[in-house]
Amino acid sequence: MAGKLDFDTKLIDPCLNSATITATLQTNPTDYAYTGATPLASFSLNPFTISPSFCVPTYSCTIIVGTPDICSITGTSTASFSATTGKYQLSTTDIVTYVPGVYTFKITATVGSKTNFITFDLKLVDPCSTATITLKTSPFADESKVLGAAETT
């Protein structure tokens, strides 16, 4: 048949293999002193620069320094990490399980087959290390009591 041209078109998602992911400057969260939910330990990710810009990253969290893993915790203590925003929050008063110290997080952005990462440090501070106890010179007050005295109303 003259004048007919057959062809196939293959559409390739540019996010699969050719996206670029550039890490951005991050700020460490404020030190956390086991205050429970008020305030939470919180980290908000400055988004990675991704090209093409319509490619949507997925974020993952790992702990590279510090134990136990506090990327995700459920129970009395809670920690949550968002795979869509990279936001992290921690609420705990459990100083025994989640020991004081610096925890280094690695947040990885993935678009198709490409990845890049940032790190940040969260410091859990022992609130008891600066506690002071002040005692009176004598814990006993000077008082006089008369035994057997009549009760008055």
Per-residue pLDDT of 119-146, as tens digits, reads 999 999 998 887 788 877 776 777 777 7
Rounded to whole angstroms, the Cα distance separating 132 from 145 reads 34
Tokens of 8: 């196939």
pLDDT above 70 as % of the chain:
93
Radius of gyration of the chain from Cα atoms? 29
Supply the CATH number for residue 39's domain. 2.60.40
Q: What is the mean pLDDT of the chain?
A: 89
Give the chain's domain count: 1
**95 in any annotated domain:** yes
Q: Residue 62: in which H helix or E strand, if any? A: strand 58-65
Is the model more confident about 56 or about 39?
A: 56
Please check whether residue 64 is in contact with residue 119, taking contact to mean a CB–CB distance below 8 angstroms: yes
Query: Which phi and psi (to 5°) does residue 63 adopt?
Result: -100, 125
Which pairing describes strands 101-111 and 58-65: parallel, antiparallel, or unpaired? antiparallel
Domain around 24 = 19-124
